[in-house]
């Protein structure tokens, strides 16, 4: 059911520096956002095969609330804590995403195991998502592409 690692989402107070590190230091490509979406706080960083492997999500340290509200709206109780103090080291990783198949079977398996799930659809990307926490509280984004 899991095809591959899809991407890792990094939430950062240092958006420009993070983009610069991955593009200028590591030589990766900033692909912006897929599906024509526009944002000055989000970018996808691609590997040499043009696969988006990092989603960089910027937080304005002077006004972080809108970003935190967006994360809470998408993840609900799956993300138990989020604040500027949480954005250091590995705690900056908001979620790990896997490219998956067989949406209905995965959803049923998670339900049978009594796991809390959140759901999202991104029609402009032909994407259905299930969010779930692993036993360590790490949020997983399970991506099912229809296009």
DSSP string covering 17-30: HHHHIIIIIT--EE
Long-range pairs for 42-45: beta carbons < 8 A, 24 or more residues apart:
43/19, 44/7, 45/19
**Do residues 55 and 44 lie in contact, with contact meaning Cβ atoms separated by under 8 Å?**
yes
Domain boundaries of the chain, sorted by first residue: 2-145
DSSP-derived pairing of the beta strands 42-46 and 127-133 = unpaired
Please list, in sequence order, all residues whose beta carbon lies within 8 angstroms of the beta carbon of residue 28, skipping any fewer than 6 positions away: 22, 45, 46, 47, 54
Residue of 106, 101, 102 whose CA lies nearest to 117 = 106
DSSP for residue 71: H
pTM of structure: 0.73
Number of helices (H), then strands (E), in the chain: 3, 8
pLDDT in tens, 26-67: 788 998 776 666 567 889 889 888 888 888 889 998 989 988
pLDDT in tens, 86-126: 787 777 788 899 899 999 999 998 999 999 999 999 998 89
Please list, in sequence order, all residues whose beta carbon lies within 8 angstroms of the beta carbon of residue 120, skipping any fewer than 6 positions away: 74, 128, 129, 131
Q: Which architecture does CATH list for 2-145?
A: Roll (3.10)
**Residue 105: enclosing H or E segment and its boundaries?**
helix 103-112
What pLDDT sits at residue 37? 61
**Do residues 47 and 4 lie in contact, with contact meaning Cβ atoms separated by under 8 Å?**
no
What's the CA gap between 40 and 98, in Å, rounded?
A: 25
């Amino acid at each position: 059911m899991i095809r591959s690692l899809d991407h890792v989402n990094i939430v950062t107070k240092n958006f420009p520096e993070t983009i610069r590190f991955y593009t200028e230091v590591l030589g990766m490509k900033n692909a912006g956002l897929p599906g024509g979406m526009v944002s000055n706080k989000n970018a996808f960083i691609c590997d040499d095969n043009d696969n988006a492997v990092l989603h960089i999500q910027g937080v304005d340290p002077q006004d972080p609330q809108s970003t935190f509200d967006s994360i809470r709206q998408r993840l609900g109780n799956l993300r138990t804590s989020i604040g500027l103090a949480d954005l250091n080291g590995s705690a900056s990783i908001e979620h790990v995403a896997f490219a998956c198949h067989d949406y209905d079977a995965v959803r049923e398996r998670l339900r049978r195991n009594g796991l809390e799930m959140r759901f999202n659809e991104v029609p402009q990307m032909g994407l259905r998502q299930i969010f779930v926490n692993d036993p360590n509280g790490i949020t997983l984004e399970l991506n099912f592409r229809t296009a």
